């Protein structure tokens, strides 16, 4: 099933707000074999909304709109959709009660402007928004095509789409076809290198299986997607193909499932019964952020030291000042001492350390912007290496973080 997403809001086109809803929706519908045909971002304008809805219905059976449902005068989506589908604006007491409940839970006093959100088109079926005040509206055409209008606030859209909207869409557009996925994560190889390795293998895939290349800086997700009326045949085929992928890339296999580098690292740490810490200079706490964003990480992750200043490196992590003087703060020797120092200071079994030049300034002779020294330390050994990452400051920090997490995960695997 293909759907179209229309993101409505002047703030999106002005760059003040980024549309994250379409990406969240795409990730939620993917396991069911649904996909987004295209996304269109438009102004809060009645003519633009009408034209976009016409275009969307010509391309898909399901249209999702996000945004334009607030209580202010510039939010005109509700009235425009009423004019499009017919009917009139009517007061819905159940919507008002839901709004009162939301405000009560937040400890906010209800005002007349927000009460006006209880006015909805008579041509829609309301899905109560349990986490916000803008009602979700389900419109259905005589030919069975559906438009669902949702709020633009990301956490409202994500929660309500996952819990209410998508289950109802799946029920209406039910399919007996079986859908399954398998994923492996490969590190240390370019996308072209992987594609060359899999050229003949990919050509021999059954016609009901598709291989997708989903690269990110430092890693490549290889995802097998299958659809077939025979569920047992589909599962056995994907299991076989998944095993073949794992065997082909055994030396570069970060994970045999759809895991992030930090998830793969925690999995390896738990398998060994190890704890971990980090000493971060150029990454500024990003390693800690990536790990602590995962629920349950406290069984492995102990803490970090953001050792941005040299004094922190020497006083807290016991980095030898003579090494900094001789080799420079961005050096494999300093990174190794940082990794070993944070292990001792925090009492962890394993550690990671980063020291580099994220830019846009700070380059020195022989050490251009993007130079990062990364070290990992385990009970068995300490490893340190120098990398050169292209791009902006944010990109260098992100790539260095991924590399540190991946390096430790792969070392523990070996």
For 192-219, what is the mean pLDDT?
A: 96
Q: Give 237-275 pLDDT, tens digit per residue.
A: 999 999 999 999 999 999 999 999 999 999 999 999 999
The SS3 of residue 341 is helix
Q: How confident is the model at residue 323 (pLDDT cuts 50, 70, 90)?
A: very high
Which residue is associated with the tokens 């990992």? 376
The Cα 135–Cα 126 span in angstroms is 7
Tell whether the model's pLDDT for residue 168 goes beyond 90.
Answer: yes
Tell whether the model's pLDDT for residue 410 goes beyond 80.
Answer: yes
Q: Are 89 and 82 in contact (CB under 8 A)?
A: yes
- Tokens at residue 174, please? 């039910």
For residue 285, give the H/E element and its range: none
Neighbouring C-beta atoms of residue 10, cutoff 10 Å: 15
Percentage of the residues of the chain whose pLDDT score is greater than 70: 100
Tell whether the model's pLDDT for residue 69 goes beyond 90.
Answer: no
For 362-387, what is the mean pLDDT?
A: 96
- Tokens at residue 123, please? 């041509």
CA 372 centroid distance within chain: 25
Alpha helix (H) residue ranges in 161-224:
166-172, 191-197, 199-203
The Cα 414–Cα 224 span in angstroms is 26
Tell whether the model's pLDDT for residue 60 goes beyond 80.
Answer: yes
- Tokens at residue 387, please? 């990398």
The Cα 330–Cα 324 span in angstroms is 8
Q: Are 110 and 100 in contact (CB under 8 A)?
A: yes
**Strand-strand pairing, 146-150 and 219-228:** unpaired
Q: How confident is the model at residue 180, as a pLDDT?
A: 95
What's the whole-model pTM score? 0.85
The Cα 46–Cα 130 span in angstroms is 27
| Burial grade of 93 (CB within 10 A; 0-12, 13-18, 19 or more) | exposed
Judged by phi (left if over 0) then psi (alpha if -120 to 50, else beta), residue 312 lies in alpha
**At a CB cut-off of 8 Å and minimum separation 6, what does 47 contact?**
none
For 346-352, what is the mean pLDDT?
A: 98
Tell whether the model's pLDDT for residue 164 goes beyond 90.
Answer: yes
The SS3 of residue 370 is coil
For 115-142, what is the mean pLDDT?
A: 94
Q: How confident is the model at residue 154 (pLDDT cuts 50, 70, 90)?
A: very high
**Strand-strand pairing, 350-356 and 301-306:** unpaired
The SS3 of residue 20 is coil
**At a CB cut-off of 8 Å and minimum separation 6, what does 374 contact?**
335, 352, 353, 354, 356, 384, 385, 387, 400, 403, 404, 407
The Cα 214–Cα 235 span in angstroms is 22
The Cα 74–Cα 88 span in angstroms is 19
**Average pLDDT value over all residues in the chain:** 95
Alpha helix (H) residue ranges in 297-331:
310-315, 321-327
């Amino acid at each position: 099933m293909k759907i179209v997403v229309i993101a409505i809001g002047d703030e999106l086109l002005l760059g003040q707000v980024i549309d994250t809803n379409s990406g969240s929706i795409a990730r939620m519908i993917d396991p069911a074999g649904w996909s987004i045909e295209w996304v269109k971002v438009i102004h809060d304008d009645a003519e633009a909304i009408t034209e976009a809805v016409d275009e969307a219905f010509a391309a898909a059976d399901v249209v999702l709109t996000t945004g334009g449902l607030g209580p202010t005068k510039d939010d005109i989506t509700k009235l425009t959709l009423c004019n499009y589908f017919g009917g009139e604006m009517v007061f819905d007491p159940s919507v008002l009660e839901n709004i009162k409940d939301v405000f009560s839970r937040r400890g906010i006093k209800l005002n007349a402007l927000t009460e006006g959100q209880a006015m909805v088109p008579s041509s829609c079926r309301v899905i109560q928004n349990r986490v916000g005040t803008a009602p979700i509206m389900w419109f259905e055409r005589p030919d069975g095509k559906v438009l669902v209008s949702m709020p633009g606030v990301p956490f409202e859209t994500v929660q309500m789409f996952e819990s209410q909207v998508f289950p109802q869409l799946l029920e209406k557009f039910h399919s007996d076809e079986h859908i399954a996925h398998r994923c492996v994560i490969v590190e240390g190889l370019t996308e072209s290198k992987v594609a060359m390795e899999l050229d003949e293998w990919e050509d021999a895939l059954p016609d009901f299986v598709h291989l997708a290349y989903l690269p990110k800086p430092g890693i490549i997700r290889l995802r097998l997607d299958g659809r077939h009326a025979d569920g047992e045949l589909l599962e056995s085929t994907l299991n076989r193909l998944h095993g073949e992928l794992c065997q082909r890339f055994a030396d570069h296999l970060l994970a045999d499932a759809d895991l992030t580098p930090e998830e793969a690292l925690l999995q390896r740490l738990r398998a060994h019964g190890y704890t971990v810490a980090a000493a971060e200079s150029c990454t500024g706490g990003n390693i800690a952020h990536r790990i602590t964003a995962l629920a349950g990480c406290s069984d492995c992750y102990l803490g970090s030291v953001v050792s941005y200043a040299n004094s922190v490196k020497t006083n807290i992590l016991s980095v030898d000042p003579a090494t900094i003087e001789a080799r420079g703060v961005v050096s494999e020797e300093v990174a190794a001492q940082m990794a070993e120092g944070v292990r001792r200071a925090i009492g962890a079994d394993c550690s990671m350390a980063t020291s580099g030049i994220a830019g846009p300034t700070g380059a020195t002779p022989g050490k251009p912007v993007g130079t990062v020294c990364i070290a990992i330390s385990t009970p068995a050994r300490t490893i340190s290496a120098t990398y050169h990452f292209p791009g902006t400051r944010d990109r260098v920090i992100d790539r260095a973080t991924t590399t540190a997490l991946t390096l430790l995960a792969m070392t523990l695997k070996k």
